[in-house]
Amino acid sequence: MSEHASVEREREKLLKELSQVQDELNSLRESMQTEVDIEVDEGDSEVFEREKNAALIAVMEIRLQDIQNALRSIEKGNYGICTRCNKPIEPGRLEVKPDATLCLNCQQEIERLSRRGRPTRQIQW
Ligand SMILES: [Zn+2]
C-alpha cells in the first residue's frame, strides 16, 4: 500500500538524520574531552567554547530522543499519530518535521500555554 511506502520513506529519512545527529554529538563530545588543557590566557574563550558545545550537546540529545521516539512509533505502527489527541498528524507537517509527535493544533496549544505566564497587556493607572 502507498501509505506503508511513505512510512518506509520517513523511516529512512529518520535513520539518516539519526546518524547525522549521532556523528555531530560524537564530535562535540570529543572536542569537549580534548579541550581539558586550558591555557590561562585562553581561559575565557575556552570556557565560552565549552559552554557553547555543552548547550549544543543538550539540543542534539533532545533531537536524538525525538528521532528515536519517532522510529519507535513507526515500529509500533502508530507513526504520525498525535501523542496528545490521538488524531493523525498533518502529512505536510511530517514532511517538514518527520519526528513530530504532536499535531499542529496540539503543538500550538502547548506553545500558547507555555506563553501564558507572561502578561500580554499591562494597565498603567
Ligand atoms: Zn493533537
C-alpha 77 to ligand 1 mean position (Å): 17
Maximal CA-CA distance, the chain: 65
C-alpha 80 to ligand 1 mean position (Å): 10
Phi, psi for 42 (deg, rounded to 5): -90, 0
Q: What is the pLDDT of residues 9-19, one digit of tens each?
A: 889 999 999 99
Question: Which range among 70-79, 87-96, 100-109, 115-124 shows the weakest confidence by mean pLDDT?
Answer: 115-124
C-alpha 106 to ligand 1 mean position (Å): 4
C-alpha 123 to ligand 1 mean position (Å): 35
C-alpha 112 to ligand 1 mean position (Å): 14
pLDDT at 1: 46
Q: What is the pLDDT of residues 65-76, one digit of tens each?
A: 999 988 998 998
Please answer whether residues 108 and 84 qualify as being in contact, where contact means their C-beta atoms are separated by less than 8 angstroms: no
**pLDDT, the chain, mean:** 84
